[in-house]
A and B are shown apart, each in its own frame.
Chain A
Amino acid sequence: MSGEFNIFSDKDKFMEDAVRQFTICNSCRYCEGYCPVWPEVHSGNIVTRNDVLYYSNLCYDHRDCYYACPYVPGTHEFNINIPEVTRKIRRETYEELTYNVSGSPLKKTAISLALVVPVILGWFFAFNNIYSPGPVSFYKLVPKYPLIAVSSLLSVYLVSMLAVAGIRYRKLILNGLDNGNATAAVLPGVTTLLGVLAHKWFRNIHYPGGKESNIRLGFHLMIFYGFLMALLSTTLGFIYEDLLGIPSPFPFYSPVVIAGITGGSMLTVGSLLGLAARLSSRRTQGFMTVESFDFLLILEFLVVALTGLLTLLFRYTAGTEYVYLALLIHYSAIYTMYITAPFSTNILHVVVRLMSLNRFDNHNIP
């Protein structure tokens, strides 16, 4: 395929202006040392629409460039506001990557919930053997094989959806560029992965207010590693119980419980901090128009983390019914999260960010 991948056909004016803004940036270059966007902008002679898509998805929204710019709206006719441009384009990119499913995220979530919860509840009543004698077992709520089947199906669905998004994104940014040798490395390299793990570009972001802070670094680290810890806990639980034959419940010093409590707590605190930062960012002038932050996904994180923690807590303190109730909500929230994930900017950005950073590292690290 050649030519520009014109996903913004109905938004031509906006893209035209985005190209205009980046062209001015390319002839200025004062911001070069701020973030990965600028070495990439400055490496080309002319700016195309495909370039702009890529720059936008490399952008971390530090806003250093906005504060350093002598051409910002209200002070200069050039009207340069790159963070606003890139945020709008990121949102458009995400919509395009998920086939622009109609309806708001809220609607999607509601539909998902409507689909998932009855199924779980159906099982709950159909296999209603939680009061049967013997120790508490999660498989009494949902039996083992249906649970594995549903989880596997949902995992396949999520991975496929994200893979499709990745392929589409690659098409978007590579089209007409690099004379074909940009096929390099779809899978991220070691440098890129290490950078992501270390949150290399997360320092000193002008967020949630106008001043530089590390608040976003803080809550992103907590959500990122909290999520991984929770995943680790679940995986370890499966290994212990099903592969090693060690029956649950596990003692509180078991790695399963420790990982679960740590992950759940980090996710909870991280999500709450993120929500608070987002609410407070509404007061920052100049950046009100677009928000790429996914409110619902964070709520889902919170519900998953809290019910996970409660399930653990109730096992040691409360009655069986409470354990199963917490677990029921926990399962429902996880499945809801799975189903809505491909439509969530916060999940999609994992794919898009990784691919963009990988491309940047391929260009800039010898």
Chain B
Amino acid sequence: METSGYDIVVVGAGNAALCSAITASEMGKKVLVLEKAPENQRGGNSKFTRNFRIAHEKGWNGFTQEYSGDEFLSDIRKVTSGISSSEMTRYVVDNSGEAVNWASAHGTKWQKALRSTLHLDRTNLFILGGGKALLNTYFRYLGKFRNCRIVYDSELIKMNVENNTFQSLTASIQGHNVEIKGDAVILGSGGFESNLNILREAWGDATDNFIIRGTSQNTGVPLMEMIRHGAASVGEKNDGHMVGVDARSPKYEGGIVTRVDSVIFGIVVNKFAKRFFDEGYDIWPKRYAISGKLIARQPDQIAFSIFDSKSWGMFIPPLYPPIVENSIETLADRIGLNPDELRKTVTEYNAACPEAPGFDFSGLDGHGTGNIEPAKSNWARRIDTPPFYAYPLRPGLTFTYFGLKVDSQSRVTDVSGNPFNNIWAAGEIMAGNILNNGYLGGLGMTIGTLFGITAGKEASS
């Protein structure tokens, strides 16, 4: 392969990287895409995604209700504790519809909100077949451009940057180190969620018990290379989207199916059979998005969702079967908890549950516990009808927020605030500029698409 003469080198081949590569290719640039994974595992974290969050009017793309930009913005502020209020966030909200239009124009097809995701059908547009189907469409489209070349099994190992200008990069391509030169580089290479060494810096030994739900390819080398060259960062290394997942899930790449939706229906206890957070704090996805970090701070990073037969069938069953027993004590035995302690916790919880007229799991129902620590603010229904169910939970890291600070053109900036001359970033590697904690479903794809296009355009002009 040629090692120089490229107008643009794109590092990564997920949604953001492909949006950049397509934009640059359409503008006639000579583009090289370096994908770390082999061809059949290409696409990074994007292959596990499923939807775009967009502000829209009623009737747009089949939506039956409006989702205004103001509401979208306020939702972002809620999950980011008000931190995120930059003009970039506003830009994402105002242009979110464009992300979907662009994806449609490039062959992406959509589907109605999935069963059991009705809470998202007003705000999110679902990709027919999910992220991998979208990626397949983009790869097929990109394949038509003779000015674009995709090379698989190509891992970036070193960035060569001088005077805030990208000179070349060294990549290991099918096992051989190759120096590649280009006029500009776009980093669409994701975060570092599959790099246990960096995670350990932030989380210590707890890292051993993390389950990485996303790709195993995101080791964050391009990100750390840019930090080494003086790029400014956003977010903290322990910031990430971390949810409670089935403890039996594979270490990497479990994706969406590892999630456990039973949390709000009962209680969650740690290895000492003690409750440790308000399981009824809020509806999906906010409560869901915080549970992972809470479990990460519990001893041995293990927890158990406990509920009874009244709730079985009320949520999407996870990929592994529940642990089922006819008494709380035998259930405790099965999952390795002290039976007396679990019995005590359940009894105390039941005693604090209200005599509610009926529980409404479709929204905050206000049926909270009485005097108990921690409280359960909603859906405090007694656990009293056998058989009893348990799912073991671990922290499931989906992606990380620590990333590169970029300007509004998605150009990477250095620690003194000056942009690098020819280095752009798009997608998860810079999503921390908009989100640095908490998460709103579907925002990642919207950010990746918009800044992927922006980076592609800016790098081409």
Contacts and interface: CB of A to CB of B under 8 A. Distances in A.
B197 to A, nearest CB: 23
Interface string B263-293: 0000000000000000000000000000000
13 contacts: A23-B319, A26-B317, A27-B257, A27-B317, A28-B255, A30-B130, A42-B115, A45-B313, A68-B136, A70-B253, A75-B40, A75-B41, A78-B257
Given A24-B257, A71-B255, A33 B319 contact: no
Interface in A24-77: 24, 26-34, 39, 42-43, 45-46, 64-65, 67-71, 74-77
B48 A45 contact: no
Interface in B279-326: 312-313, 316-319
Contacts of B136: 67-68
A45 B312 contact: yes
A70 B127 CA distance: 14
B256 interface: yes
A65 B111 CA distance: 14
List the 7 closest A-B pairs by CB distance, nearest first.
A33-B111, A30-B130, A68-B129, A68-B133, A27-B257, A42-B115, A29-B114
Interface string B223-267: 000000000000000000000000000100101110100000000
B112 interface: yes
Contact of A46 (B128, B129, B317): B317
Given A29-B114, A30-B256, A70-B130, 18 more contacts: A26-B316, A27-B256, A27-B317, A28-B255, A29-B115, A29-B117, A30-B50, A30-B114, A34-B128, A42-B114, A42-B115, A43-B115, A45-B317, A46-B317, A68-B129, A70-B48, A71-B257, A75-B41
B29 interface: no
Interface in B160-209: none
| Interface size of A as a range | 20 to 34
B288 to A, nearest CB: 14
Contact of B130 (A31, A42, A43, A75): A31
B47 interface: yes
B376 interface: no
A28 B313 CA distance: 16
A155 B47 CA distance: 53
B343 to A, nearest CB: 28
A43 B318 CA distance: 14
B185 to A, nearest CB: 27
Contact of A34 (B48, B129, B259): B129
A124 to B, nearest CB: 58
A32 B111 contact: yes
B133 to A, nearest CB: 4
Nearest to B115: A42
B140 to A, nearest CB: 9
B16 to A, nearest CB: 18
Interface in B382-412: none
Interface string B27-53: 000000000000011000001101000
B128 A29 contact: no
B296 to A, nearest CB: 23
B116 interface: yes
Interface string B114-151: 11110000000011111111001000000000000000
Contacts of A34: 128-129
A68 B40 contact: no
A68 B257 contact: no
Given A30-B114, A32-B115, A74 B318 contact: no
Contact of A28 (B47, B253, B257): B257
Interface in A219-263: none
B115 A76 contact: no
Contact of A33 (B40, B112, B117, B316): B112
A29 B116 CA distance: 9
A30 B41 CA distance: 18
B132 A29 contact: no
Contacts of A68: 129-130, 132-133, 136
Q: Which of A65, A74, A78 has the most CB of B within 10 A?
A: A78
Contacts of B126: 33
Contacts of B250: 77-78
A179 to B, nearest CB: 14
A76 B253 contact: yes
B47 A70 contact: yes
A23 B316 contact: no
B116 A42 contact: yes
Nearest to A211: B140
A349 B114 CA distance: 29
Contacts of B259: 27
Q: Which of B47, B133, B313 has the most CB of A within 10 A?
A: B133
A212 to B, nearest CB: 10
Contacts of B312: 45
B216 to A, nearest CB: 10
B318 A27 contact: yes
A123 B126 CA distance: 66
Interface in B88-125: 110-112, 114-117
A27 B316 CA distance: 6
Contacts of B133: 30, 64, 67-68
Contacts of A76: 253
B319 A32 contact: no
Contacts of A24: 257, 319
Contacts of B116: 29, 42
A28 B256 contact: yes
A32 B111 CA distance: 8
A326 B115 CA distance: 57
A45 B115 CA distance: 12
B316 A29 contact: yes
Nearest to B322: A46
Contacts of A70: 47-48, 130-132, 253, 255
